[in-house]
Amino acid sequence: MSRGFLMLSLLSLLGRPLAAGPLVEALKARQSKLDAILARHPGELPPAEKDKLGRILTETLDFREMGKAALGAEWDRRSDAERTHYLKAFEDLLRASLLRKPDIYRVNDVQYGPEKLEAGAGRVLTTVRSKDATTEVEYEFLGSAGQWRIVDYKLDGVSTVRNYRSQFAKILAKSGWAGLLDRLRKRASEIAAET
C-alpha cells in the first residue's frame, strides 16, 4: 500500500475536502479524451468517433449502482434475472441519452471544485462553461483508490438518479414492472435511432 493512498484514505475518513485528488484527476482525464475527439471533428461526429465518445463517457459510470438507486425499494423485490433485464435496459437508456447531444461536451472551460471524500463515497462539483451557458455539474462517486465510479451526476442541481427514481415510481404505479421495462427499451431505442 503506497504512502499516497494511505494519506488519501485518512483524509477521506475525516471527510475533509481535497484540492485535487483522484476524482478530479479522473474527470480531467475524461474531459481531455473528449476534447481530443471533439477537436478532431468540429462538425458532426462520424459514427465510429461517436462510439468512442460513448465509451469514454460510460466507462466511468457504475450502471449497477445507478440503476439500483433509481429503482429504489423496488430493487429488493426483484429477482436476479429481472434485475439483469432491467439493468441492461437502464444502461441502454443512459448510454443513448449521453450521446443524444454530443455538442454539449464541447466546452470552453471546466473548473473543478474541491473533492469531498467520505467512507468510500466522493463528490466533485464542476462548473462547465460552454458557448451558450454555464452549468454546474456535480458528480457523485463510489469506490476506492483506483476504482472510483460515478454513481450520479447532477446538472444544476437536478439529480439524474433522483429524477429517474421519481419517473420510475410513477411508471411502476401506472404500468407495472413490464411497463417500466417496455418504456425504458422503447425510449432508449427511440433516442438511439435519433442519434
By CB under 8 A, residue 111 contacts another protein:
no
Mind giving me the DSSP string for 22-55? HHHHHHHHHHHHHHHHHHH-SSSPPHHHHHHHHH
Please choose, from the candidates 93, 45, 53, the residue with its C-alpha nearest in 3D space to the C-alpha of residue 192. 93
Question: Closest separation between CB of residue 114 and another protein, Å?
Answer: 18
By CB under 8 A, residue 190 contacts another protein:
yes
Question: Closest separation between CB of residue 16 and another protein, Å?
Answer: 25
Considering only residues 1, 73, 133, 178, which one is a binding residue for another protein as defined by CB under 8 A? Answer: 133
Mind giving me the DSSP string for 99-142? TS-GGGG--SEEEEEEEEEETTEEEEEEEEE-SS-EEEEEEEEE
Question: Closest separation between CB of residue 61 and another protein, Å?
Answer: 11
Q: What does the binding site for another protein look like in residue numbers (CB under 8 A)?
A: 93, 96-98, 100-101, 104, 133, 136, 153, 155-158, 160, 163-164, 166-167, 170-171, 173-175, 183-184, 187, 190-191, 193-194
